[in-house]
Amino acid sequence: MIDPAWFAPGAAPEATVAYAESLIAQGRTAPDIWSLGPAEVRLRRRAGMTPFVTEPKSARAEAVSIDGPRGPIPLRIIAPDSPVAVYLHFHSGGWTLGESDQDDPRLERLATECGFACVSVEYRLAPEDPYPAGPDDCEAAALWLVREAPGRFGVDRLMIGGESAGAHLSAVTMLRLRDRHGLTPFSKANLAAGSYDLGLTPSARRSETDKFVLGTRDLRMFAANYLQNGEDLSDPDVSPLYADVSGLPPAIFTVGTRDPLIDDTLFMAARWIAAGNEAELSVWPGSGHVHTSLPEPNAAPAFERVMAFLKG
């Protein structure tokens, strides 16, 4: 299942290596985001003032609002006229940053090329709304979709996925629906570069220097923003790597070899298979965190593999 060739010297495309070095160099002179604070970083990201890639927004996205546990939850829907399935999406950002429109280009491709109605969730963010606010919103959105998909979209085939914190929230949502509601409604899951152990896996603990997109300090700070009440880091609702993952849908696990969260993906994919589920492991030499949204050579084929998996 794991191919040592993925990690061999020289396995990464030259342009991927060059892109990594350029981002590392930018990071050495960039402002410390943790001295700015989450609110300022969000403003800078929206204004294109950070290395974070700002991408075009969908012209056909529809904004709707549903009832949530502490007020309305905004949803962003990108859908074809006659969907063949519905994809529930949770964005990345360490439970602290990010917005439901940041993955519009990839959700547009899923809508146009795969025929999926894509529903991206604007869940509450830490530190203003720490755990369990985000997972509660994601759970509510999933339950809404289970109820409403046939009437609103004309289909009952549902899929789920996200990147980084969004992959974590996807796993937590599947577990909550199974354990709290007796529901396993998703036919497939797209889990990209997820954080599944908030106590930090070995690779996450060993990314202190020359940060490429994400480093150990970032992971610790994101977790500190998200968990503010002494939560047990081995609680499956916090760290789904510790969960019983049996009875969950086939999943594709995508990660780059230079992602600090690569162990999270390798460990979770192994547990997924050991529990009797189907899993496809998609590992990309030299790529960094959530590389499917970065302008580097491995991005397009990695996302095309995701699309093929979800369509299959």
Confidence (pLDDT) at 46: 83
Contact call for residues 162 and 90 (beta carbons, < 8 A): yes
Confidence (pLDDT) at 136: 98
Question: Distance between CA 305 and CA 262 in Å, rounded?
Answer: 18
Confidence (pLDDT) at 50: 67
Question: Distance between CA 20 and CA 26 in Å, rounded?
Answer: 10
Mean pLDDT by 10 residues, the chain (312 residues): 94 97 88 90 81 83 96 98 98 97 97 98 98 98 98 98 98 98 98 98 89 94 97 98 98 98 98 98 98 96 98 94
| HEC sequence for the chain | CCCHHHHCCCCCCHHHHHHHHHHHHHHHHCCCHHHHCHHHHHHHHHCCCCCCCCCCCCCCCEEEEEEECCEEEEEEEECCCCCCEEEEEECCCCCCCCCCCCCHHHHHHHHHHHCEEEEEECCCCCCCCCCCHHHHHHHHHHHHHHHHHHHHHCCCCEEEEEECHHHHHHHHHHHHHHHHHCCCCEEEEEEECCCCCCCCCHHHHCCCCCCECECHHHHHHHHHHHCCCCCCCCCCCCCHHHCCCCCCCCEEEEEECCCCCHHHHHHHHHHHHHCCCCEEEEEECCCCCCHHHCCCCCHHHHHHHHHHHHHC
Confidence (pLDDT) at 15: 97
Question: Distance between CA 27 and CA 183 in Å, rounded?
Answer: 43
Confidence (pLDDT) at 207: 85
Q: What structural domains does the chain harbor?
A: 4-311 (3.40.50.1820)
Is the pTM higher than 0.95? The answer reads yes
Confidence (pLDDT) at 32: 87
Confidence (pLDDT) at 52: 65
Confidence (pLDDT) at 256: 98
What the block records as the tokens of 83 is 């969907």
* Distant-in-sequence contacts of 143-148, Cβ < 8 A, 24+ apart: 143/177, 143/181, 143/183, 144/66, 144/67, 145/86, 145/88, 145/119, 145/185, 146/177, 146/183, 146/185
